[in-house]
Amino acid sequence: MTDPDRAACEWPTRRDIVRSSGALAFGGFLAGCSGESGQESSVTEGSDMTTATGAGGTETDPATSDGAYSVTMEPVGTVEFETVPETIAPFTADYIDMLVALGHGDAVQSIWYRGRYKTLHYEELDGVSIDLGRLTQLWNDGISKEPFYEMNADLHLIDPHGLTNWLGAWDQSDLTEIRENVAPFLGNLIFRQTDDWHDYRYYSLYEAFEKVAEMVQERTRFEAIRSIHDELVETVQARLPAPADRPNAALMFAGEEPEAFTPYRISGNGANKEHFQTLGISDAFADTGVEGYSGSESLDYETLLEIDPDSLLLRYHREGKTREEFENSVLASMKDHEVGSQLRAVQNDMVFRGGPIYAGPLHNLFMIERYAKRYFPEEFTETHLFDRDHLATIITDGRDE
């Protein structure tokens, strides 16, 4: 096995394709990793480029005449690019879904855990796919630095806090080693913001998606996909029942024959619950004292019955499972449970799979459609609520026709 410390001395310390932009960017990186970064770096030091960043994060003069450009994103700060990175190492599947959507799926090198990357929706998009087998799985009873040296990616599309604070796998010296000897980090943990350490800026799904589009210089594709999203949201929301007639939901983690449930929370920031918020589905745990996933305790059936949500959204179930299979396994076991069978949601068959945990923009489109049809079947009777062929053409050809 390669000794990463020895290998570090043998790898180049400066990437020709992408690099962190000087001392200020590195300072932002260090501050961000210690949870002290309060704003995006505003100056690209050591180059002819100055990035002016306003209160809303809007950047001006993003590129120089020689084609170089920069992207600024908390918590790292500014990263300068001399050309579009050809190999990219993401961590969570939401960012992989963004790269696939932007036509850069072939650049993807890694995933932290293959089982958390749901790809069934690609089967409905002609010509859109990704080979999971070729991706390096970064989690193997921990996260070694060795795969990062072996991949030698041009960029790590990873929030460094994901490695240090979330998983506790690395410390600051590990981050510094990989950044200096392999490639910079860029990214923001967007799937949730229930952790105390996530005190820096949070990016919504499409805010993060736009940053990735800047990174791979795919503004046209991004705008075309955002247009499909905005049109879908407008269409769906115009047909929703009045707020008082929309159900609430308890989003939770649960097993195949659940006896205990770990609450997640629909309210608050988190890219994987934006589709529920789009549909106006309220949080059944609001004003109950039940906290979100980070540090929360499990609920039993008796506690859940006291809340008695209108619907249940259960995660940790295979996305490839059909509705019938889900009903015959999970829902059937709940109906057989002495207390679970008393829940309104169980009695009314309002128990659904909770969807992917790391949801990117393509996931989001399919989830808006899925839950619109599940929660409001009398209103949304169409087979599809957005054009698959149009979306696939944007992804594969870069055309918006």
Contact between 228 and 391 (Cβ < 8 Å):
yes
> What's the rounded mean pLDDT across residues 312-326?
78
Flag whether pLDDT at 12 surpasses 70: no
Q: Confirm if 214 and 71 have CB atoms less than 8 A apart.
A: yes
Q: How many CA atoms lie within 13 A of 267 on its CB side?
A: 11
What average pLDDT does range 208-220 have in this prediction?
A: 98
CA end-to-end span of the chain: 51
- 167-175 long-range contacts (CB < 8 A, ≥24 apart) are 167/143, 169/142, 169/143, 170/143, 170/145, 172/30, 172/33, 172/34, 174/145, 175/29, 175/33
Q: Which contiguous run of DSSP H or E holds residue 221?
A: helix 219-238
Residues 150-168: what's their mean pLDDT? 95
Helix (H, G, I), strand (E, B) or coil at 39: coil
Rounded CA-CA distance 81/133 in Å is: 29
pLDDT value at 9 more than 70: no
**Bridge partners, residue 315, by sequence:** 253
**Strand ranges for 254-295 from DSSP E:** 260-263, 282-283
Dihedral sign, Cα of residue 355, residue 359, residue 363, residue 368: positive
Q: Which tokens in the block code for residue 262?
A: 């770990």
Using one digit for the tens of pLDDT, what is the confidence trace for 125-140? 999 999 999 999 999 8
What's the whole-model pTM score? 0.84
In the block, tokens 């049109």 appear at: 231
3-class SS of residue 368? helix
What pLDDT digit, counting tens, does each position of 342-387 carry? 999 999 999 999 999 999 999 999 999 999 999 999 999 999 999 9
Round to whole Å and give the CA distance between 234 and 214: 25
Q: Is the per-residue pLDDT at 56 higher than 70?
A: no
Kindly give, in sequence order, each residue whose CB lies less than 8 Å from that of residue 176, ignoring residues fewer than 6 positions away. none
Q: How confident is the model at residue 142 (pLDDT cuts 50, 70, 90)?
A: confident
Please give the pLDDT value at position 298. 87
Confidence label for 318 from pLDDT (cuts 50, 70 and 90): low
Q: Which domains can be identified in the chain, with CATH numbers? A: 4-217 (3.40.50.1980), 227-397 (3.40.50.1980)
Q: Please report the pLDDT score of residue 93 as a whole number.
A: 96
pLDDT for the residue 195: 86
**Is 282 in a helix, a strand, or coil?**
strand
- The residue with tokens 């069934």 is 120
